[in-house]
Each structure stands twice: as structure tokens, then as C-alpha cells.
Homo-oligomer: A and B are copies of this chain.
């Protein structure tokens, strides 16, 4: 395998947290316990836990241990992950435009690379709802050359990011975001059930991936009145 050992352990612990095997406030195995369980050194065990801390799943306290954090109810952790990892369960998604080859839009706040400009992009548009409430209008664009067969096959587990990871081995490495409060235009107002010119939050994101020439561009327009956007950061 070329997946590092710390990442396997990190992913295993993450699934256990997401599935509820570890609840909020629970202690994960300590560094030394991980060492003996997996036959690794503390450096490797630490790395797995540090990554989980960076992702916001746990808090690490000297003398105490690694403790599962409370996940706030807001549309959280927009930093890197997609929608479904962020909120609870009663989330649904409607495709307004199915994935297809389309020209790049202009006016996006991040510059495209030369190689991206040379050919059209794959684009799709989705409306995300929580219960009965439409909450977010989401557009995604990326170079059409990098993901062969993307238009033919569907999403894995309805998740764009899981599809990238499982089918194309593309992992998100980071993101740049730009936040703007805007008045809703007619379309946004209708779809998100905001009154005309009512305030909506526009989040423009450029995701960087393990392929240094492949970026994903997203624009999220959010009705934050009922579901504010949550966000955590650790040093």
C-alpha cells in the first residue's frame, strides 16, 4: 500500500467517531495504547491523532487524553469537507443541473490555470436542503480532462468528494475561500426561499488536491438565517 500507516489509523478512528462508537466526551485510545495495538511508534500514533485534531474531531489535552469533540448543529466544518459530512442526517440533495461539459464561467474570484482554460469544464449544480428547508445552492466546476468517465458513472454514496477519493484517488489537501454577503437575486431568492434582495452568504472555494494541477472550484450560496455556517480552527 502507499497509504501511510498513520492515515489508516486516522481513518479508522474517524469512522468510529462518525458511526458513534466513540461519542462526544469519550476518550480515544492514548498514544501508548495505539502504539501497542498497532505495533507502531509514538511518532506514528501521534501523527494520526494530530490529524484528527486538525480536522476538528478531537481535542487533545495534556495529562488527560484525546477527547471526542462536540459537533455543533450548524452547517459545520465547511473548511474542507462537503455537505454531508457537515450536518446531521435529514439532508437531501436535488440536482438542478446534472454533471455535463460546459464552458467555464467568468468572474470567479480565483484565477484559472492555462491548462484549465484550454478545454471546457465539468459542471453541476445542486440544491441542498435540511428537512424542508432549502439551505444551500451549490455549483461545482473542474477541469474535464482529469476525471475520465466521470460523466458516465454516478456518485458514490451520493458524495462528490467520496467519489473523487474512491474512484480517482483524489484527496482534498486544502482550500482557499472567499466570503461575501450579497443580496439574493431572483433565482436565489426563489430557490432558497429568501425574500428578494434578502442577504445570503456566498462562499467561493478553490480546493487544492493531491494532484497539484487539479483544482475544484465551488460556489455556495447559503441561506444562513436558520442554519448559520460553522467553522473551527486549531493551531
Knowing that A174-B234, A177-B230 touch, tell me 9 more A-B residue pairs with CB under 8 angstroms: A54-B235, A74-B178, A79-B233, A172-B235, A173-B234, A178-B231, A179-B224, A180-B225, A181-B222
Q: Is the CB of A179 within 8 A of B199?
A: no
Q: A199-B182, A201-B180 are in contact. Are A175 and B232 (CB under 8 A)?
A: yes
Instruction: Report which residue of A176, A183, A200, A230 has the largest number of chain B beta carbons within 10 angstroms of its beta carbon.
Output: A176
Instruction: Report which residue of A172, A224, A231 has the largest number of chain B beta carbons within 10 angstroms of its beta carbon.
Output: A231
Q: Does A117 contact B (CB under 8 A)?
A: no
Q: What is the CA–CA distance of A229 and B181 in the complex, to the nearest angstrom?
A: 10
Hey, what's the 0/1 contact readout for A60-82 against B, CB within 8 Å counting as 1?
01000000000010100001100
Task: Name the residue on B nearest A171 (C-beta).
Answer: B235
Dominant SS among interface residues on chain A = strand
Q: Which 4 A-B pairs have the closest CB atoms?
A: A199-B199, A181-B199, A181-B201, A181-B181
Q: Does A109 contact B (CB under 8 A)?
A: yes
Q: Does A198 contact B (CB under 8 A)?
A: yes
The B-contacting residues of A in range 182-235, CB under 8 angstroms, are 182-183, 197-201, 212, 222, 224-225, 228-235
Q: Could you say which residues of chain B place their CB within 8 Å of the CB of A230?
A: 176-179
Task: Name the residue on B nearest A200 (C-beta).
Answer: B181
